Structure 1
Amino acid sequence: MSCLKCLKYTMCLVNFIFFICGAAVFGIGIYLMTSTRFSSILPSLQAMNIANTLFIIGIIITCVSFLGFLGALKENRCLLISFFILLFILMLAELAAACVLLMYERQIEKFIDEDLKSGLQKSINDRKNVTDTDDWDTVQLTFQCCGIHNSSDWLNNVPKSCNNPGNGTRYWPKGCFKKLQDAFENNLLNAGIGVIVVCIIEVLGMCFSMTLFCHISRSGLGYK
């Protein structure tokens, strides 16, 4: 019985921490949506700009962790099984996305390259002057790149985020597509470890919730 209580309160604590983190990500997404102008880098994924992505991730983390926290605290079978199902679906979605990335790497690179061109052209058309900012500026400042392949992609409307103060050249020499590729390849091991860690956390969450679920069923407490 003491082990089950320890399991219950451990699950409550972990889910409470995730709830706070999810709420913080959710808040950052709302702040960015209300304070910054965004244009889609990938027009085919128009809704998935930085602000919307943080907003959606925050909602998912907050809702799932709230179910786990309340289900463990109240020992509610409905909430615990809902928590288990949501974690299982999330894990399947992550594994499916990883498999798709590995199987269709070349096709995805070609699609991203073409979509980046459409997104950059849209950004050029939307900008009134080089001082306007959007998602492109965030990417270029973060990765110290300019355009898709180089600064010529911006034609005569090169934004200030392309400026390279570190040497004699005016703009960052590398394009963002190459920089993003390099960043992905250099952090492939870390990304793989991150995915494994997330999956382990999800599996542990499912095991904890199912253990509590079975204990409540054997206790005859039913659906409260």
Structure 2
Amino acid sequence: MTHGCLKCLKYTMCIANFLCFICGVALVGFGVFMMVNFKVTALTPSLPSFNLANMLLISGIIISCVSFLGFLGALKENRCLLLTFFLMLFFLLVVELTAACMLLLYENDIANWVEHDLNKGLEEAKGNHSDVSRSEWDLVQKTFDCCGVHNVSDWGDNVPVSCCLNDCTGSPTPQYRSTGCLDKMRSWFEENFLTTGISVIVLCIIEVLGMCFAMTLFCHISRSGLGYKL
């Protein structure tokens, strides 16, 4: 009975990690696709690499590597791989919980930093008239139905097309989006705070279950004397 349960646990880990590996590879592919086809610049100059394409790429690599370790360790019943998988999940869990605590403790400071950096990024985008340098601002302004950091006046006389509600090029009285992106982002975060919190809790539960499964298999292999079976 115990052997059957452990065998079921082993193949459950294999299937779950294989699905996570496929998702991670898909994220890597999508991130590379965005980097090649969309020349985006970061909204925050303090973090020049903090854009959607890079975040997808990094997340995909992490998910792929961790899930591959879990899949191979469970399939081969390898103690070294299972222990590495456990430690990596534990490290990710600690990082996620630390980031969540920092966001809650320093919410106002982070909000002020984001506002300052968005203003700085917008000033840099204003100085460059090419569409490439504004692509990420255009994406944000269209997605959140906003314009500038606080309002359309932030762009001065160099208002991008993404701020327009109508055809700005052919209209004598163009209409612009009235709300700033900072307020829209803050409202979106507040509206999705519960969903984000639930998602983080679910992710932590999945990671804890993965750690429990890995340690259970690790202890079973140690007791059975299989060693570093490959």
TM class by shorter-chain length? over 0.9
Q: TM-score, normalised by structure 1?
A: 0.95
Aligned counterparts of 2:33 and 2:72: Cα–Cα separation in 1: 27
Question: Is the partner of 2:66 in helix, strand or coil?
Answer: helix
Q: What does residue range 84-95 of structure 1 map to in structure 2 within 5 Å?
A: 84-95=86-97
Aligned match of 2:80: 78
Alignment check: 8 A CA contact 1:37 1:133 kept: no
**Structure possessing the higher radius of gyration over alpha carbons:** 2
User: Is 2:155 aligned against 1:154?
Assistant: yes
Aligned match of 2:222: 217
How many residues in Structure 1 have an aligned counterpart in Structure 2? 222
Aligned match of 1:199: 204
1:121 partner amino acid: E
Question: Is the partner of 1:44 in helix, strand or coil?
Answer: coil
1:169, distance to aligned residue in structure 2 (A) = 6.9
Taking only the aligned residue pairs, the percentage that are identical comes to 57
Aligned counterparts of 1:151 and 1:205: Cα–Cα separation in 2: 48
User: Is 2:182 aligned against 1:177?
Assistant: yes
**Structure 1 residue ranges (4+ consecutive) displaced by more than 4 angstroms after TM superposition:** none
1:105 partner amino acid: E
Aligned counterparts of 1:191 and 1:114: Cα–Cα separation in 2: 24
Aligned counterparts of 1:12 and 1:114: Cα–Cα separation in 2: 46
1:178, distance to aligned residue in structure 2 (A) = 0.4
1:123, distance to aligned residue in structure 2 (A) = 1.4
1:73 partner amino acid: L
Alignment check: 8 A CA contact 1:80 1:210 kept: yes
Structure 2 residues not aligned, in runs of 5+: 167-172
Aligned match of 2:59 in 57, 60, 69? 57
Aligned counterparts of 1:169 and 1:158: Cα–Cα separation in 2: 11
1:14-42 deviation per Cα after TM superposition (whole angstroms, max 9, x unaligned): 11111111111111110111111111101
User: Is 2:114 aligned against 1:109?
Assistant: no
Structure 1 residues not aligned, in runs of 5+: none
Question: Is the partner of 2:46 in helix, strand or coil?
Answer: helix
Q: TM-score, normalised by structure 2?
A: 0.92
Backbone CA RMSD of aligned residues = 1.6
1:125, distance to aligned residue in structure 2 (A) = 1.9
Question: Is the partner of 1:43 in helix, strand or coil?
Answer: coil
Task: Tell me which moved more, 203-212 or 152-161.
Answer: 152-161
Aligned counterparts of 2:123 and 2:164: Cα–Cα separation in 1: 19
Aligned match of 1:23: 25
Aligned match of 2:126: 124
User: Is 2:41 aligned against 1:39?
Assistant: yes
1:100-152 deviation per Cα after TM superposition (whole angstroms, max 9, x unaligned): 011011111111100001111111223336x8642111111111111101111
1:126 partner amino acid: N
